[in-house]
Chain A
Amino acid sequence: MKYVIIGNSAAGIGCVEGIRQIDREGGIAVITAEAHHTYSRPLISYLLKGKTDREKILYRRENFYSDNNCRLLKSTLVSAIEPEEKQVVLSNEEKIPYDKLLVSTGSRAFIPAFEGLSSVKDKFTFMSLDDAIGLEKSLDKYKRVLIVGGGLIGLKCAEGIRDKVAHVTVLDLAERIMSSILDDGGAEIMQRHIECNDISFRLGASIKRFESNSAFLENGDVIEFDILVLAVGVSPNDELLNGIADTDRGIAVNEKSQTTAPGIYAAGDCTKSFDISSGHNKNMALLPNAYMQGECAGINMAGGEKTFDKAIPMNAIGFFGKHIITAGNYSGDVYSEEHPGGYKRIFYGNNRLNGYILIGNIEKAGIYTSLIREQTPLDTIDFELICKQPRLMAFAKDERMSKIGGV
Chain B
Amino acid sequence: MKKVYVNEKWCLGCRLCEYYCAFAAAGGNDMAKALKGVKPNSRIKIEKHGDISFAVSCRHCKEALCLRGCITGALGVTDGVVAIDHERCVSCYTCVLLCPYGAVSPSPEGPAQKCELCVKTTDGSPACVKGCPNRAIVFEDRGE
Q: How many residues of B contact A (CB 8 A)?
A: 39
B95 to chain A, nearest CB (A): 8
Q: Which residues of B sit under 8 angstroms from A46, Cβ to Cβ?
A: 90
Report the Cα distance A370→B96, complex, angstroms.
11
Q: C-beta contact mask, A279-291 vs B, less than 8 Å → 1, else 0?
A: 0000000011001
B61 to chain A, nearest CB (A): 11
Q: Which residues of B sit under 8 angstroms from A61, Cβ to Cβ?
A: 73
* A342 contacts chain B at the CB level, 8 A cutoff: no
A314 touches B97 (CB 8 A): yes
Report the Cα distance A392→B129, complex, angstroms.
20
A127 to chain B, nearest CB (A): 15
A406 touches B100 (CB 8 A): no
* A400 contacts chain B at the CB level, 8 A cutoff: yes
B50 to chain A, nearest CB (A): 9
Q: Which residues of A sit under 8 angstroms from B34, Cβ to Cβ?
A: none
B84 to chain A, nearest CB (A): 14
Report the Cα distance A238→B92, complex, angstroms.
29
A43 touches B97 (CB 8 A): no
Q: Which residues of A sit under 8 angstroms from B101, Cβ to Cβ?
A: 366-367, 392, 403-404
Q: Which residues of B sit under 8 angstroms from A318, Cβ to Cβ?
A: 91-93
B106 touches A362 (CB 8 A): yes
Residue of B nearest to A315 (CB): B97
Residue of A nearest to B69 (CB): A288
Residue of A314, A315, A363, A406 most packed against chain B (CB within 10 A): A406
B82 to chain A, nearest CB (A): 14
A316 touches B92 (CB 8 A): yes
B93 touches A362 (CB 8 A): yes
Given the known A-B contacts A56-B88, A317-B92, A318-B91, are A406 and B142 also in contact in the complex, defined by CB atoms under 8 Å? yes
Question: Which chain B residues (5-60) contact chain A, with CB distance < 8 Å?
Answer: 5-8, 47-49, 52, 54-56, 59
A195 to chain B, nearest CB (A): 22
Residue of A nearest to B92 (CB): A316
B69 touches A287 (CB 8 A): yes
Q: Which residues of A sit under 8 angstroms from B90, Cβ to Cβ?
A: 43, 46, 51-52
Report the Cα distance A401→B56, complex, angstroms.
11
A25 to chain B, nearest CB (A): 22
Determine which of B48, B55, B88, B92 lies in contact with A42 in the assembled complex, contact meaning CB atoms within 8 Å. B92
Q: Which residues of B sit under 8 angstroms from A51, Cβ to Cβ?
A: 90
Report the Cα distance A366→B98, complex, angstroms.
5
Q: Which residues of B sit under 8 angstroms from A287, Cβ to Cβ?
A: 69, 71, 94
* B99 contacts chain A at the CB level, 8 A cutoff: yes
B57 to chain A, nearest CB (A): 8
Report the Cα distance A220→B41, complex, angstroms.
55
A16 to chain B, nearest CB (A): 13
Q: Which residues of B sit under 8 angstroms from A43, Cβ to Cβ?
A: 71-72, 90
B65 to chain A, nearest CB (A): 8
B6 touches A404 (CB 8 A): yes
B102 touches A363 (CB 8 A): yes
A400 touches B102 (CB 8 A): no
* B68 contacts chain A at the CB level, 8 A cutoff: yes
* A89 contacts chain B at the CB level, 8 A cutoff: no
Given contacts A60-B73, A393-B47, A393-B48, 4 further A-B contacts (CB under 8 A): A40-B72, A46-B90, A362-B93, A404-B6
Residues of B within 8 A of A (CB): 3, 5-8, 47-49, 52, 54-56, 59, 65, 68-69, 71-73, 87-88, 90-102, 104-106, 142, 144
Can you list 9 pairs linking A and B with CB atoms under 8 Å apart? A56-B72, A314-B98, A325-B93, A325-B96, A325-B97, A363-B96, A365-B102, A404-B59, A405-B5
